[in-house]
């Protein structure tokens, strides 16, 4: 069973987190969420992670605190970084998240970034390659990457997407990469997308 680590912080975009989490579970993955504290306010983990207050006010209880030693590519097949301006900033500026991204890329494990979460590709100093993001952060990325305005962009083992409206396309792409095209189609049907939906 493929294993997935999805990060969450205060300010994470709810749809990008929950749609990705839920779709990967439907695909047959084991999914764990880890709370990334804001290093600007100390960023010290406690015994239990707090509720993450997301971008629209929804509170989500993460499974665990983020810990670099426990979140590596030896334990998970996919690392997901959702967007939401404040949450993406917290994650992208966290040195241990930057290091984690590099470890996954170096080990050729999948890394998924959506919306402003793609800023972490820049702060982790990933090489020039195709990438997309929410339009609001395009100007921070388009001189460092081959910026593409597509719903989902796959560049080797980096998968990026644009925002809440592309979250299903993003999540289904991750399911396909981890579990195969047949499994993607098996779960897509019961989700009852409107006729003509491109994903």
Which positions ≥6 away from 86 have C-beta within 8 Å? 9, 10, 11, 55
Q: What phi and psi values does residue 6 have, to the nearest 5 degrees? A: -115, 125
d(CA 51, CA 167): 22
| 45 closest CA partner among 75, 61, 68 | 68
Catalytic residues: 16, 115, 134
């Amino acid at each position: 069973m493929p294993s997935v680590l999805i990060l969450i912080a205060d300010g994470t975009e709810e749809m990008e987190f929950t749609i990705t989490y839920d779709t990967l579970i439907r695909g047959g993955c084991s999914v764990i969420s880890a709370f990334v504290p804001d290093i600007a306010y100390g960023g010290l983990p406690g015994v239990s992670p707090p509720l993450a207050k997301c971008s629209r006010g929804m509170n989500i209880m993460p499974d665990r605190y983020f810990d670099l030693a426990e979140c590596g590519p030896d334990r998970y097949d996919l690392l997901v970084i959702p967007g939401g301006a404040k949450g993406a900033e917290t994650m992208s500026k966290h040195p241990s998240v930057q290091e984690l991204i590099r470890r996954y890329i170096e080990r050729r494990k999948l890394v998924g970034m959506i919306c402003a979460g793609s800023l972490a590709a820049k702060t982790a100093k990933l090489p020039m390659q195709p990438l997309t993001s929410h339009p609001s952060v395009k100007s921070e990325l388009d001189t460092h990457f081959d910026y593409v305005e597509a719903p989902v962009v796959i560049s080797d083992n980096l998968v990026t997407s644009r925002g809440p409206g592309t979250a299903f396309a993003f999540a289904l792409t991750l399911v396909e990469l981890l579990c195969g095209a047949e499994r993607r189609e098996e779960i897509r049907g019961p989700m009852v997308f409107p006729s003509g939906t491109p994903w």
